[in-house]
């Protein structure tokens, strides 16, 4: 679970202090959100399909697995230019 930074609650003495405080908080939040995005994107897929053809799967995600009954092959989806790749 992400550990989002808490916004500091204090009365800054100047506008410059307020700006620096906001800038620091936004940078920490951005780093945490980027880390969370990376974690979610690297999670393995849990979608396993049995289809006649992989073209039936509308929007596959990286790591999806399908068994194509028309070709009797297991296929995996990659985000590279190759798309679906035969396992066997």
Q: How far apart are CA 81 and CA 4, in angstroms?
A: 35
Same-domain pairing of 38 and 62: no
Question: Do the Cβ atoms of 69 and 55 come closer than 8 Å?
Answer: no
pTM higher than the cut 0.95:
no
Structure confidence at residue 1 as a pLDDT band (50, 70, 90): low
Assess whether 39 and 54 both reside in one domain: no
pLDDT at 79: 82
Q: Looking at residues 6-11, what average pLDDT do you find?
A: 80
Q: Is residue 68 part of a domain?
A: yes
Domain membership of residue 36 as a residue range? 9-43
Q: Do 14 and 36 sit in the same domain of this protein?
A: yes
Cα separations in angstroms, 19 against 1, 10, 15: 29, 13, 6
- Per the structure block, which two tokens stand in for 8? 């500091």
Residues 57 and 36 in one domain: no
Residue 65 belongs to some domain of the structure: yes
Q: Is the pLDDT of residue 57 over 80?
A: yes
Count of structural domains within the chain? 2
Q: Per the domain annotation, does 39 fall within a domain?
A: yes
Identify whether residues 21 and 34 lie together within a single domain: yes
| 43-66-82-46 Cα dihedral, nearest 10 degrees | -10
Predicted pLDDT of residue 11: 83
Q: How much of the chain, in percent, has pLDDT values that exceed 90? A: 36
């Amino acid at each position: 679970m992400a550990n989002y930074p808490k916004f500091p609650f204090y009365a800054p003495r100047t506008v410059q202090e307020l700006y620096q405080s906001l800038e620091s908080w936004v940078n920490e939040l951005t780093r945490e959100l980027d880390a969370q995005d990376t974690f979610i994107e690297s999670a393995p897929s849990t979608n396993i399909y049995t289809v006649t053809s992989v073209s039936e799967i509308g929007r596959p995600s990286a790591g999806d697995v399908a068994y194509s009954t028309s070709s009797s092959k297991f296929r995996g989806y990659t985000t590279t230019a190759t798309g679906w790749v035969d396992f066997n």
